[in-house]
Structure 1
Amino acid sequence: MGGAKNKRQKREDYRISLREEGTTELPRKKFYRQRAHANPFSDHQLIYPPSPDQMDWSSLFPYYVTEEDATEAEDSTPEALAGQGLQPVEPKRLSKDVEVADIGCGFGGLLIALAPVMPETLILGLEIRVSVTQFVEDKINALRGQNQEKGLYRNIGVLRANTMKFLPNFFTKGQLSKIFICFPDPHFKARKHKQRIVSTTLNSEYAYVLRPGGIVYTITDVPDLHGWMVQHFDAHPSFERVEEEEQEADPCVAIMRSETEEGKKVERNNGQKHVALFRRLADPPYGEVE
């Protein structure tokens, strides 16, 4: 037990050292040990906003805080205001909205690869595992520090969240232009299929937060799961599958294939990667739904 405690303390000390001011060292994964998967139905003691308009994005995208909020006095924090008997201020606003979500972003390979390709777009990684989220956060901060003069990696952030439960708490209707679902947990056993990140119910939530013309990107090395995702998106009235020619011309597809942690692992093992894209259709006028 003593050895386990010492290892945990070393990991914690390492993470604290990375957060020291001016540190730009990239984090090492061995100090962020975590189970490969997490049960989305468990109580993960997550913090989430009651609605998207109450979400404060300023800590994730500090370089995009509006000028009015950026110049706000330091003593207007909720704690300081409470001490003065005042109400907390409204969440700080960004100059633009998050438009791309990487669901189950893992160690952030896709986020980091997309950042310079889509420099004007805010991209958010959503990850349920604590240590993995911390790793991605520390890596983003290190990359920002290393590229301070170029201003790179300011447009990406990571948030610990349970997408299956709280996606509409973070995004308004039609806010997103792209959703990535890369190498999700296949949950092979039939009794575990309800935990799959693609389902009839969840696809309706993706349709809600995705704007007409927006794209859901899926990739997996498991043929059965690929078939499951295609089947469920094909059956949903809000989506149509993107033709292969258009799919292969999309630069995000090449990045998705090569830059994720799982994608690289599949490549090393000479495995196959199954890709499918689905476009969000416009809702029919009210009264014309069959």
Structure 2
Amino acid sequence: MTDQQPLPPKSFDPGTFRDRPVSFVRRSGRMTPSQARAWEQHRADYVLDIPRGRAATSVADGVAGDPERIFGRSAPLVVEVGTGQGHAILHAAESRPDKNFLGVEVFRAGLARTIIRAELAGVKNLRLAEVNAPELLEKYLPAGSVDEIWVFFPDPWAKARHHKRRLVSADFARIAALALRPGGVLRLATDWEDYAERMREVLDAAPEFERDFEGEWAERFEGRVLTAFERKGAERGRAIRDLVYRRAQRPPIRPPESTVEA
């Protein structure tokens, strides 16, 4: 991997080149000195050098990655969408050295903090991508190359007028199905009840997926480390809802060009 391409100037507006509104807030807050140092010294070891499209976090057309070359081995691949500060994926990578883990996040300070912790832990089976997650799943990774996709506590876009920006939609279900191998798993969790219900509605209706749980909700995923974020949600009385869906054995349907933003 080579150095990441520099981001466009601050005046650059990613929305100018998007067909649809992005469903994340591009936070480029100032990094601490230790985070900036880790980014400069170690990003080439962790952060994939993915050529950008016209938007700051887009993936250029015609660009594809080979997981076996990225990790230097063949192993089950887990992709986490929205790693934040990396707590869940770092814990998983340390606990399961037999698997490869790819974290997708657009908050650079969070990526830098993940790199610091990965270096301290000596984690070798982790890579990171600073791009729009649906584009990575649909355009960059080979179809059927992913064993699990994790979407833990995505932005709920709580106001009703912003619900259209939520990541989990019918189009995202289609994209996730393209990336997953037959029998692959999509794991989701949220502490917003109405979003949990919407996730379940979307995935229940997706022809590419089948429920992998009984009853109303799935059991809490034991492989997800309990973070301060999840703990705070529980302390505020919010129910943590987990969902698990399995990619059906039949091939997913690929409609005309369509990409969601996240």
Do both share a fold (TM > 0.5)?
yes
Larger Rg: 1
- Deviation (angstroms), 1:227: 0.3
- Once residues 172 and 199 of structure 1 are traced to their aligned partners in structure 2, the CA distance between those partners, rounded to angstroms, is 21
1:48 corresponding residue in structure 2: 59
1:102 corresponding residue in structure 2: 80
Q: 1:161 to 1:20 in 2, by over 3 A?
A: closer
SS across alignment from 2:198: helix
Q: 1:53 to 1:255 in 2, by over 3 A?
A: same
**Matched pairs, number:** 214
Q: 1:285 to 1:200 in 2, by over 3 A?
A: closer
- Deviation (angstroms), 1:263: 1.6
Structure 1 residue ranges without an equivalent (≥5): 1-7, 23-42, 65-93, 145-152
1:127 to 77, 93, 105: 105
Instruction: Tell me which amino acid in the other structure corresponds to 2:226.
Output: E
- Deviation (angstroms), 1:171: 1.1
- Deviation (angstroms), 1:55: 6.1
Q: 1:13 to 1:122 in 2, by over 3 A?
A: same
SS across alignment from 1:215: strand
Structure 2 residue ranges without an equivalent (≥5): 1-27, 43-53, 254-262
1:13 corresponding residue in structure 2: 33
Question: Identity over the aligned pairs, expressed in percent?
Answer: 24
Bigger relative contact order (CA 8 A; separation at least 6): 2
SS across alignment from 2:243: strand
TM-score (ref. length: structure 2): 0.70
1:223 corresponding residue in structure 2: 193
Check the 8 A contact 1:124/1:159 in 2, yes or no: yes
- Deviation (angstroms), 1:200: 0.7
SS across alignment from 1:179: strand
Task: Summarize deviations over 1:200-251 as a string: whole Å, max 9, x none.
Answer: 1111000000111111111111110000000000000011111238954xxx
Instruction: Tell me which amino acid in the other structure corresponds to 2:187.
Output: Y
Q: 1:139 to 1:48 in 2, by over 3 A?
A: farther
Instruction: Tell me which amino acid in the other structure corresponds to 1:189.
Output: K
TM-score (ref. length: structure 1): 0.64
2:153 corresponding residue in structure 1: 183
- Once residues 204 and 113 of structure 1 are traced to their aligned partners in structure 2, the CA distance between those partners, rounded to angstroms, is 28
Backbone CA RMSD of aligned residues? 3.3
Q: How does 1:21-170 map to 2 (within 5 A)?
A: 45-46=56-57, 48=59, 50-51=61-62, 53-54=64-65, 64=71, 94-96=72-74, 99-144=77-122, 153-170=123-140
- Deviation (angstroms), 1:51: 4.3
2:250 corresponding residue in structure 1: 283
SS across alignment from 1:254: coil
Q: 1:110 to 1:104 in 2, by over 3 A?
A: same
